[in-house]
Amino acid sequence: MGLNKFFSRSTVTEEPVSPIDAYSASDPRRIKLLDAIEESDLSWFWASDANGKIVYLSRAAQEKLTGEGIDFHDLSLVELFSTPISESDDEHGRQRPLPFLLRARNSINSLPVKVATKKDIWWEISGRPQFCEKGEFTGFRGSAKDISAQRQGQIDVNRMAQYDALTGLANRHRMETRMAKLLTASKASQRSCAMMMLDLDRFKQVNDTLGHQAGDELLKQVAQRLDRIIGDKGEIGRLGGDEFQIILPDMDDRGALGDLAQTLIQMVSQPYSINGARAIIGTSAGIAIAPFDGIETDELVGAGDLALYAAKAGGRGQYRFYSSDLSSDAHWRRQIEEDLRDALATDGLEMQYQPLVDTKTNRVKSFEALVRWNHPERGWVSPAEFIPVAEETGQILDLGEWVIRTACRDAAQWPEELVVAINVSAIQFANENLPTILSDAMMSSGLPPERLELELTESVFIGDPHATHEMFATLKKMGLRLALDDFGTGYSSLGYLRNAPFDKIKIDQSFVRGACEGGNNNAAIITAIVSLAEALDMVTVAEGVEAHDELDLVRELGATHVQGWIYSKALPQDAVMEKLASGELEYEPSGPAKARASRKAMFRKVGVIHEDHRYEVVMRNLSRTGARIEGLLNVPEGTDMVLDLGNGQLVVAVVRRAEEAAQGLEFETKLISDGADGLCTRHRVSPYALAAAGMPLAALPAGSYGVAEAMGVNPRSRPHFLQIETSPA
Ligand code: C2E
Ligand code: MG
Ligand code: MG
């Protein structure tokens, strides 16, 4: 097929040729020039008939297609070329797709098209519609060139600008753009979008001990694990360092998000093999959900960061949802840091001791030393709250030393058969002065090493394996006993048990809790831990036993020791001495017959909606399945109401027990964990729903959203019940 066959005709219809033109339209040299261009691959030519079928294609182009195994004979333009959707919102393109242009007989201007093949071959085509003398459409004619190489180059440049070279995940820039787009779209369609911030725990240690290359390899493997879990549910980005972000469009189910975060944490916490070395890290996660926690990117990211920070402070390896109290928590943590310094300097801390009892004989074998802080303004602050802060700030070293000295001194006064167990944080364990501190304390108190037990958690295995091994060897050589605390949480690996010289395993209370309720495999896990411990010649302690049914169960499952409120809470040294003075080392179990869903005592103002009236009441405790409220008089049992827990959290409840001004409510749907030790509703009433009912969307107040008012419940309507004042007691 020669070019002139198709192009000669146009020479007839062309407008008069200007004298400047070197070649007149019919000059054969012009055809030669076009032939030369065609052969040079600078530009190819093509033509289609009125039906869009390809009737001409430059030979060079034909050869190219045949070389790729494409048979273009009898193909139409739209069969040979496709315009992927992404191309039409390409920043250069913005042209309609090819079929549209052809149908409308529009001209085609440098349109990138994908050539019908699996391979990534891209051409850029231009063309114009042709008409015969009678004005009838005869087809398109145009030019084409291969742009695959430029395109690939462009894609690489775009990729570099948008993706992280190390892990292949989106980079910060891309995540910001994606988030802004998604939030705008969600706002328009009033949908939700969740965002998760992850920060690896102890990544720095791996980097420092195994080297940067190992650190890089670790980040890649983390990225792969995240990707395997998230798949196409969302987009994952690496924001830099060991910080990751996940955007999850159309997600607001806190139950599902909590489960997902838990899975991510578990997967990231599994050991890694890096060039033959083993590394273990963890991760913490903060979750924020639009529109509840923010409607702009900045707000949402700020909320996610705060939630992440809270998760880290809560002991790492945990997730947290954003809540408006986190802003005040962040403040409180800074306060802890300052006040703890004072407390350490002024003897503001106190040690208490909780017995560990032999399940067969009910005799106390040892006491665990638990630190207590009576804060001048806040009262008793839980160690679960201030130990993580002390670990973060390094104050744990001073605090830990004080604990060791005090506990040794107190224990030296107990009968000789009793052991004191001291909690030693991973940071203390990594401190090479620990053996000296311990032997000094034993020397000055006169406590022999066999009466001192150290409780370590699995986090001691993170960090330099050589130093860890040395420390274990030194402590054993000193004659101390070692217990593995909180087993089953965090980084549990049976490998630790085989290789580290533990005398005791403490089964975390989370397995005891609920073991009697069914619907979980806690009992099976306890059995497994017990038989493993037996095989390794270790004793087992079930932590946190509160009720008789729990005690019976853990006894039956073979735990050799029990620590829990059923025997005694932690008591100050005076009280311990008083008990021991009688020479009586037996403890009688006493507690509720059955474990109840744990209820948190509190004094929190919440709303109750009944019919079209909203009341202010005080919530005194809250569990997954119910709550106790005070402040309404004589509400009959069986009354249906809605509890407004604030921030759009509405819970349908029925009154199950009623005394004068107090009611026990049962919830229609269970609450879920908020990641901390709090509870929340799985879904919330969207601020959009509130906005629709007249609430301003941009100015969502913290705390109560006034859901009831916004939904048309009138606070000034006639109340059905009498509301009374309640005070904290
Ligand atoms: P842990 O070492 O697992 O200590 C057991 C915790 O369970 C203690 O909480 C104890 O009061 C609580 N507990 C015991 N029996 C029951 C029960 O039947 N029911 C319930 N609900 N709880 C029970 P505590 O004293 O608040 O300490 C919390 C954590 O703080 C400890 O967990 C330990 O990890 C840390 N900690 C406490 N004292 C020290 C210390 O001196 N040094 C260090 N590094 N950490 C400490
Ligand atoms: Mg402990
Ligand atoms: Mg424990």
**Sequence spans of domains, the chain:** 3-154, 163-324, 343-581, 600-723
Confidence band (pLDDT; 50, 70, 90) for 237? very high
What pLDDT score does 82 carry?
84
Confidence band (pLDDT; 50, 70, 90) for 17? very low
Class of domain 163-324: alpha beta
The two tokens of residue 338 are 């300052």
Confidence band (pLDDT; 50, 70, 90) for 9? very low
pLDDT digits (tens, 9 = 90+) for 260-272: 999 999 999 999 9
Choosing from 405, 423, 600 the residue with most ligand 1 atoms within 8 A of its CB, the one to mutate for a pocket test is 423
Higher local confidence (pLDDT), 551 or 121:
551
Q: Average pLDDT, stretch 469-495?
A: 86
Q: Average pLDDT, stretch 639-647?
A: 88
Residues with CB under 5 A from ligand 3 (ion): 485-486, 543
Report the distance separating Cα 247 and Cα 230, nearest Å: 10
Thinking of the domain 3-154, which architecture would CATH place it in?
A: 2-Layer Sandwich (3.30)
Give the position, in ligand 1's atom list, of the atom nearest the Cα of 352. Answer: 25
Q: Average pLDDT, stretch 320-347?
A: 84
* Percent of the chain residues past pLDDT 70, beyond the cut: 88
What pLDDT score does 245 carry?
97
Give the position, in ligand 1's atom list, of the atom nearest the Cα of 546. Answer: 18
Give 449's DSSP letter.
Answer: G
Higher local confidence (pLDDT), 293 or 718:
293
What pLDDT score does 699 carry?
40
What pLDDT score does 655 carry?
94
pLDDT surpasses 60 at 91: no
What pLDDT score does 712 carry?
67
Nearest CA to ligand 1 atom 15: 564
pLDDT surpasses 70 at 721: yes
Give me the CATH topology for the region 343-581. Answer: TIM Barrel (3.20.20)
Least confident residue range of 191-205, 585-599, 652-666: 585-599
Question: Which residues have any ligand 1 atom within 6 Å of their CB?
Answer: 354, 370-371, 382-384, 387, 400, 403, 423, 425, 455, 485-486, 509, 543-546, 563-565, 570
pLDDT digits (tens, 9 = 90+) for 350-373: 999 999 999 999 999 999 999 999
**Backbone dihedral region of 712: left (phi > 0), alpha (psi from -120 to 50 degrees) or beta?**
left
Give the position, in ligand 1's atom list, of the atom nearest the Cα of 425. Answer: 44
Confidence band (pLDDT; 50, 70, 90) for 161? confident
Distance 634 CA to ligand 1 centre (A): 40
**Sign of torsion, CA 126 132 136 138?**
negative
What pLDDT score does 88 carry?
43
Mean pLDDT of the chain: 86
Confidence band (pLDDT; 50, 70, 90) for 714? low
pLDDT surpasses 50 at 11: no
pLDDT surpasses 70 at 191: yes
Confidence band (pLDDT; 50, 70, 90) for 333? confident
Nearest CA to ligand 1 atom 32: 384
DSSP string, 374-425: EETTTEEE-HHHHHHHHHHHTTHHHHHHHHHHHHHHHHTTS-TT-EEEEE--
Whether pTM > 0.85 for this model: the answer is no
Q: Taking CA 462 as the corner, what is the angle to CA 318 and CA 242, rounded to the nearest 5 degrees? A: 60
Report the distance separating Cα 170 and Cα 178, nearest Å: 10
Give the position, in ligand 1's atom list, of the atom nearest the Cα of 455. Answer: 2
Higher local confidence (pLDDT), 4 or 671:
671
Nearest CA to ligand 1 atom 45: 423
Higher local confidence (pLDDT), 60 or 698:
60
Report the distance separating Cα 575 and Cα 571, nearest Å: 6
Higher local confidence (pLDDT), 376 or 413:
413
pLDDT surpasses 80 at 688: no
Give me the CATH topology for the region 600-723. Answer: Thrombin, subunit H (2.40.10)
Report the distance separating Cα 646 and Cα 669, nearest Å: 17
Choosing from 354, 370, 456, 541 the residue with most ligand 1 atoms within 8 A of its CB, the one to mutate for a pocket test is 370
Number of H helices, E strands in the chain: 25, 33
Nearest CA to ligand 1 atom 16: 544
What pLDDT score does 92 carry?
46
Distance 180 CA to ligand 1 centre (A): 43
Q: Average pLDDT, stretch 80-108?
A: 73
What pLDDT score does 567 carry?
96
Q: Average pLDDT, stretch 476-495?
A: 82
Report the distance separating Cα 245 and Cα 288, nearest Å: 11
SS3 86: helix
What pLDDT score does 541 carry?
97
Nearest CA to ligand 1 atom 4: 370
Report the distance separating Cα 117 and Cα 121, nearest Å: 7
What pLDDT score does 568 carry?
96
